A and B are shown apart, each in its own frame.
Chain A
Amino acid sequence: MATTPYNLSHALLASSKSLIPIILVVAFFQLVVLQQPLPDLFQLLGGMLLVVIGLSLFVVGLEIGLFPLGENMAYAFARRGNLWWLLVFAFVLGFGATMAEPLLLAVADRAAAIAASAGAIADNHAARSRYALDLRLTVASAVGLALVIGLLRIIRGWPVYYLIIGGYLGVILLSLVAPPEVIGIAYDSGGMTISTVTVPLIAALGVGLASSIKGRNPMADGFGLIAFAALMPMIFVMIYGLIK
């Protein structure tokens, strides 16, 4: 298992290289296009150093912590033939992680304010917090269900593009009929709701499951969970906007 080439010094070097483009872009626009000095060089360099150290620690932590944790979970369920429990686990994980996501909390509050100003709901505190909570429950159920369907796809061996292309077509069709104030929120709720820590866990879960089932290819079948978990909330939120 421990075939990782990513020890800390290796990671530090790779992270520093990853930051060069940002430094170049920012420096070019600040100095050449806007023709202004760089503000507070000490803070800038200090911040960049923290970014490099942070990114390196994160990557090493992924390799030795999050990836093995997710993969072992998938192996353990598959080995014991407990695939139903795996689906239950996936739903609880998707639902729980999404409900706990601070970014979604902020988006839901903003959505409630927009809906209130558009006259879709009463403009008082109770109605707004009710709307925000319903929205979060909708998105969290969507993520949970997406993980269940996505894992079921790996178990059954359905081609991934059925789900993704179907999902995108659903998003387009719903965009044409959903109320406009809900569409922006729906798009936002897609990409943002799965956090930096949950994504590697979900990826490891899919890859681990695909490599422990005979006849599945971890490359072709293991990925795709994250994309589907981002599409499903868009569809659910637009449906929620339609029936609300």
Chain B
Amino acid sequence: MSGFLQLFLQQLWQTVYAVLPVMVIFLVFQFGVIRRRVPNLKQVSVGLVYVLLGLALFLVGLEMALFPLGEAMVAQLTDPAFIQRGISQTSEAVVIHWYDYYWVYLFAAGIGFATTLAEPTLLGVAIKAEEISGGAISVWGLRITVALGVGLGVMLGSYRIVAGIPLHYFIILGCALLIVQTWLAPRSIAALAYDTGVVATSTVTVPMVVALGLGLAASVPGRNTLLDGFGLIALTCLFPIVTVLSYALLGKWCSQFNARGKSG
């Protein structure tokens, strides 16, 4: 129990430390420039305390439950001994192909999807989006679409590290997709779609994805941890945008199709 308390206080202190400058800036501008009391000051203060406490508890919980287990799993899944298990040992020299890493790809997609759904900032932005879109965008619909994108991004990123394909091929491909989709998709969704990419890769997703990238880069022969270990984050930022725009595009086409069916 004392170990837990220590961890909690440590996380709380780190959170407060990072937030303090932001709050000071707010106070200076509120009293120095706007010169007016904050509306509902009491409620806002309670909310801030909730945010700090909540974030600290959240991080302690992750440290206790998810991160050590996830890192141990990554280490085992990327271990060459585990990869070779599925290959027949009759041939003299065992050659590992990119497709022998299928469990890694499946894990990448699954963990990318699952951690995104637990991401606090994405939840916050999704609530805001539901509120101002008048319910046209639902909290769960948006989060699942984003999570699918993150899963896809982490899976492609893992494949890239195993196969040794340069990162910018994927980035350029993703950007080309993005430009075409932005051009076709409804105007109102684009801004939100861009934001979800960044928001999805945060407190829960980043540590897991970084562990996966570094683990793969260390275990696949010929990869450099410094150069290949990154990149996964860049892809996980890009692909949620692609899936959210795809979803919006699909909705637009469906409604056009229905409208045509009714008029014709």
Binding site for B on A (CB under 8 A): 3, 6, 18-19, 21-22, 24-26, 28-30, 33-34, 36, 38-39, 43-69, 72-73, 76-77, 80, 82, 85, 89, 92-93, 96-97, 99-102, 114, 159-161, 164-165, 168-169, 171-172, 175-176, 180-181, 183-185, 187-188, 190-192, 194-201, 203-204, 207, 211, 217-230
Contact = CB atoms under 8 A, between A and B. Distances in A.
Interface string B32-59: 0110101110011111111111111111
Contacts of A165: 175, 178-179, 182
A162 B170 CA distance: 22
B65 A101 contact: no
B233 A61 contact: no
A181 B226 contact: yes
A229 B29 CA distance: 21
Contact of B64 (A28, A43, A200, A217): A43
A65 B46 contact: yes
B18 A102 contact: yes
B43 A64 contact: yes
15 contacts: A21-B147, A22-B115, A54-B56, A58-B58, A60-B50, A69-B38, A89-B33, A187-B230, A194-B198, A223-B191, A224-B190, A224-B192, A226-B125, A226-B198, A230-B197
B215 interface: no
Interface residues of B, number: 101
Nearest to B44: A65
Given A18-B118, A21-B113, A222 B132 contact: yes
B62 A57 contact: no
Contact of B195 (A50, A67, A225): A225
Interface in B187-205: 187-188, 190-192, 194-195, 197-199, 201-203
A50 B33 contact: no
Contact of B206 (A25, A52, A192): A192
B117 interface: yes
A25 B125 CA distance: 25
B73 interface: yes
Nearest to B14: A102
B198 A54 contact: no
B221 interface: no
Interface stretch (B20-28, B92-100, B249-257): B20-28
B224 to A, nearest CB: 10
Contacts of B132: 207, 211, 218-219, 222
Interface of B: 14-15, 17-22, 24-26, 29-30, 33-34, 36, 38-40, 43-66, 69-70, 73, 76-77, 82, 103, 107, 110-111, 113-115, 117-118, 120-121, 123-125, 127-129, 131-133, 143, 147, 168, 171-172, 175, 178-179, 182, 187-188, 190-192, 194-195, 197-199, 201-203, 206, 226-227, 229-231, 233-234, 236-237
Contact of B22 (A76, A100, A176, A187): A100
Contacts of B19: 195, 197
A41 B251 CA distance: 43
B137 to A, nearest CB: 8
A200 B140 CA distance: 18
A169 to B, nearest CB: 7
